[in-house]
Structure 1
């Protein structure tokens, strides 16, 4: 007799079942902003800097930056660039499982601003391309459908099968769903050469972030970021 589609109880309760050792589910993570502040509805650009490597190059003591909020559990900080109507958000060493929750907390900012740009670094060894690249730094971009002039940024589109993940992916996906401008820049780098620092300097200058850029690599070279 076929038992396909039927529920059959085991002959003995000594047989282990999937549900026997199920532990009570822990409470969902409840990340929160440290401060309750009114969100500006007139943000020009929202920069999202993802990763330890890029964080080393942000001068967090710069007089141009004002810390306005943070989520300590996710190592996320939100700054306002004083002389510009722009915001800078940094994140590092976070649990990728919390990505969706973090994007939800960022959503009010992402909905109200005119432009959004994410920047992250990935080891160049993970870059997949049909072309051979000898340069130690390759920058690629993902653009939402609302971006009319991609040539303005001079960065080729990220090719398949390369992909991005985590909060940066959630941010750019949300902007696509909202049918608003959004750019995700991915910097594939070696991280052991002054050349990359030069490339980052050019990139930050182009994005009007030169005033908060700190060209130092000592801590980065001595780190175990990609081990």
Structure 2
């Protein structure tokens, strides 16, 4: 399946010169990642049925409230606050809490063995639904999901993402890597309403997760917290 997109030359391109072709060892130095696993001797499972990669604060909050990921992580990348969890039944979840646009390629590189050993890769990222561009009017109060995929999928929770809308971040990097290497990957863009998360606007996300994770999923409950900087008389 063809996906639209664009290629952006890396920042390092400005430093490229013919000297690098004469001294190949310089190429490895330029592109060697600085990210290191906390447990660098850990062996990646040979067979992973489903690898779920989740980023953005809103989606991470939903996962932490509704999925049992409060146990000890299998491994971590401290620099980007990335953690890998074993969710049983050959399903693993990767939570990326912090990353910048210049480091997504490095994260994808470090996850390479996890990606290659996975039968199915699912990425979730999110944006505000107000920025979605479409000819049809969409109620901005609703949460909806769009996706790009290497192989066609069938579900009732999302539609194919249409141009000029883009999937960015780690979800885009992993999808691109999967296309190049012939891996089965789908990246979902969750368009969330600008409102506190509750049981209504998180329902589509939880329904989507149930398609790939067969363990227990609790409904999201809105927690009412008073602002710490307010004084009530």
- TM surpasses 0.5: yes
2:119 corresponds to: 114
| Pair 1:77–1:198, CA change in 2 (3 A) | same
Q: Secondary structure at the match of 1:41?
A: coil
Question: What TM-score comes out, normalization by structure 1 length?
Answer: 0.75
Contact 2:148 2:160 in 1 (8 A): yes
CA distance in 1, matches of 2:105, 2:83: 17
Q: TM-score, normalised by structure 2?
A: 0.73
- After TM superposition, the structure 1 = structure 2 runs for residues 90-169 of structure 1, keeping only pairs within 5 Å, are 90-134=95-139, 136-144=142-150, 147=151, 149-152=152-155, 155-169=158-172
Distance (Å, rounded) in 2 between the aligned partners of 1:63 and 1:167? 20
Structure 2: tracts of 5 or more residues without a match: 1-30, 228-233
Q: Determine the structure 1 residue equivalent to 2:7.
A: none
Larger Rg computed on CA atoms: 1
- For 1:220 and 1:118, the matched residues in 2 are separated by 30
Question: In the alignment, does 2:74 pair up with 1:75?
Answer: no
From the superposition, tell whether residues 64 and 94 of structure 1 become closer, same or farther in structure 2 (CA, over 3 Å). closer
* Partner in structure 2 of residue 208 of structure 1: 213
- RMSD of Structure 2 on Structure 1 (CA): 2.9
Match of 1:32 among 36, 43, 61: 36
In structure 2, the CA distance between the partners of 1:75 and 1:213, relative to structure 1 (3 Å rule), is farther
| Structure 1: segments with no counterpart, 5+ residues | 1-26, 223-227
Runs of 4+ in 1 over 4 A off after TM superposition: 63-66, 219-222
Instruction: Tell me how far apart the structure 2 counterparts of residues 62 and 174 of structure 1 sit (CA, whole Å).
Output: 29
Answer yes or no: is the 8 Å Cα contact 1:59–1:214 preserved in 2: no
Does the aligned pair in 2 maintain the 1:64–1:211 contact within 8 Å? no
Equivalenced residues, count: 193
Provide the C-alpha distance between the structure 2 equivalents of 1:219 and 1:72, rounded to a whole number of angstroms.
31
For residues 98-130 of structure 1, give each alpha carbon's deviation from its aligned partner in whole angstroms, at most 9, with x where no partner exists: 111111001111111100000111101121111
